Amino acid sequence: MAIVAMKHLRLLGMESEREALLKAMQDMECVEISSIDGSEEALKSGFAKPDDKALMSAQEASRAYRTALASLDRFAPEKKGMFRKRQGVSRAAFFSAESEENARTAAETINKDTRRLGEIESERTKNEALRATLAPWLTVDAPLGGADGALAVFFGTAGLNVTDDALKALADSLDGLLTWQQASSDRSLRYLLVMCHGSVKERALSALRDLGFSTVSFRGMTGTAKENDKALAENLAALEKERQEIEQRIAGLGGKREALLEASDRAAIALRREEAKSRLVGTDKVFLLEGWLPADRCAEIEKTLKPFTCAIETREPTEDEYPQVPVQLKNNKLTRPLNMVTEMYSLPAYGTLDPNPLMAPFFILFYGIMMADMGYGLLMMIASVIISKKYRPKGTSGELFSLLGLCGISTFIMGALTGGFFGDFLTQLVAIVSPGTVFALPKLFDPLDDLTMILIGSMALGMVQIVTGMAISLIEKCKRKKFLDAFFEEITWWLVFLGIALAVLKKGTAVLYLGCALVLLGPIVQGKGWGKLTGVFGSLYNHVTGYFGDILSYTRLMALMLAGSVIAQVFNMLAAMPGNVIAFIIISMLGNAMNFGLNLLGCYVHDLRLQCLEFFNKFYVDGGKPFRPMTLDTEYVDLQ
């Protein structure tokens, strides 16, 4: 398989047909609309960017549906498993005006109630804070608003060091025109009500502050603390009642969930279209569109857009445009699941090679070698089939479970070769059921007894992948007419590898000497000045350590196979100790479940490392930009 060939699209159409034309393009799901640079001649000719009102409206609509769904999930949670089954919906029903109106009404009601819940929570917090402020003053009958005229009233706090004697001395200094009452106290403060004659108000307040007295203000409150606390408590009760009524009302709209899910998908589709519109330029009569589409869809799009009044131009991208050309990988059912691995690393640059078909057999085989258990492989295949058929995941999730199934097949096959079924589960089970009976599944080799063979096999497989990567690099360099680089970077090192193999087999060392001579000659031929001498040592060191490290890295195939097998057998041995079948099955399954979970992720990570670091660095050119056409992709429903 290869990277899909792209063509640049330029379209000039009538403004009155813009919406219908974009919808037709979106139905085709094959056009990525790109932004037009403001410095281009088109903009100088009177074209202008559209305003963003429609885009902002589409964003608000999408946000409203998602907010409503979040509220339903909170107050009317749906009983569901790990995955949600996507309901099939016809396009006619999906885009009907009636469906949109019903969902919009439900979303507005839910979001209005949700906003009110936020207001209630804010009011509740405020009222509870006020009640906490009033709590120390509940024993005081004086009005919180203070007094006017001849009587001055102060509510405030003072430290415990302000004693009654100090307050009595203050009252005496004011000719007995001051009195006080302690409302309450805590571990650090006294809450005091101080009253004095209006004529000594300022003197009293000054003297109180000198003692460390701080006034407390109850702005907006009248009546006593107890009266205000009662009013706040009643208000909190009313707010709580309203909150419960609103939550019940939202929960009662749980039946609108499917309509809201569909509406959320519709809003997402409309938003993608509006985002595409924002990249157009035009006048009040015409608009200009530029973008990219697969070369094999050009005839189809011309046919689809034939009813519209528009001019279409398509052309091959120039090499200077390659960095801007989006990349789409063209794969079959076997290699498509590997897209998630490639995209996790980086898409290949346009005009280079798609690594998926080359990586797929190695990735799937290596995963099976590391996991190597029939029971685990069977679980992976069953999980892949059930989830793919029942929930029909798309995108990265769909690729993940397809890859899980492929790796499950490989794991099952390698498990059959090593005789592993949840480790030695069957052997231990038969020994418990029928003591003295020895049972073991047939196997080609044993991870515990044939370590040397597995180690050599792991490095041999690594060597095969490395040489494959070098062969791809050789072909690509020859295509670019870099014959000298291809000779000294690949062919000379193949001679070295072949020479080492012949020397080990005692078939002579001539090929090894020839290869080493060519390795030393390469930097001399390609270098300049002193670079010829330094290049020899640099090239020799980098290549020897690089290839040696790469090959050793593949010993992880043996290490993970051995670790998984030993851990499974240890759990089975522990489970067999009670000598009871039921206890054995329960303990063994728990242990194997743990081992399976760890290996499921661990093998993926190590396999990913082998592909990205040991294989890709031999030939891969990254930096591709993903192809993102206007689509009808949905998150919750399956359009039919």
Mean pLDDT per 10-residue section of the chain, whose length is 640 residues: 86 91 91 75 66 88 93 85 71 79 90 94 94 92 78 91 92 91 92 91 91 88 90 94 93 89 90 90 89 93 92 91 90 86 89 90 95 94 91 84 94 94 89 82 87 92 92 87 78 80 79 74 60 58 74 92 92 90 92 93 93 89 90 83
Paired tokens of 525? 């031929």
Give the pLDDT score at 530. 52
Give the pLDDT score at 364. 95
Paired tokens of 574? 């522990």
Judge whether 47 and 333 are in contact, CB under 8 Å: no
Q: Where in the chain is the domain with CATH 3.30.70.2750?
A: 146-217
What CA–CA distance (Å, rounded) separates 502 from 495?
Answer: 10
Comparing CA positions, the residue from 497, 501, 495 lying closest to residue 517 is 495
Give the pLDDT score at 567. 93
What separation in angstroms does the CA of 525 have from each of 488, 493, 516? 10, 16, 15
What separation in angstroms does the CA of 165 have from each of 152, 170, 262, 601? 21, 9, 76, 75
Rg (CA), the chain: 39
Chain length of the chain: 640
Q: Where in the chain is the domain with CATH 3.30.70.120?
A: 1-50+278-328
Query: Hey, what CATH topology would domain 1-50+278-328 get?
Result: Alpha-Beta Plaits (3.30.70)
Give the pLDDT score at 537. 62
Q: HSE-up of 491 (CA within 13 Å, CB side)? A: 15
Q: Nearest 5°: CA angle at 545, between 542 and 551?
A: 130
What CA–CA distance (Å, rounded) separates 103 from 420?
Answer: 54
Query: Hey, what CATH topology would domain 146-217 get?
Result: Alpha-Beta Plaits (3.30.70)
Give the pLDDT score at 543. 66
Q: How far, in whole angstroms, is CA 281 from its chain's centroid?
A: 34
Hey, which residues does 317 pair with through a beta bridge? none
Comparing CA positions, the residue from 462, 482, 488, 486 lying closest to residue 474 is 486
**Strand pairing of 189-197 and 151-159?**
antiparallel
Paired tokens of 136? 């120390």
What separation in angstroms does the CA of 414 have from each of 364, 373, 401, 424, 624? 11, 7, 20, 15, 35
Give the pLDDT score at 303. 92
Residue located via tokens 């797929």:
360
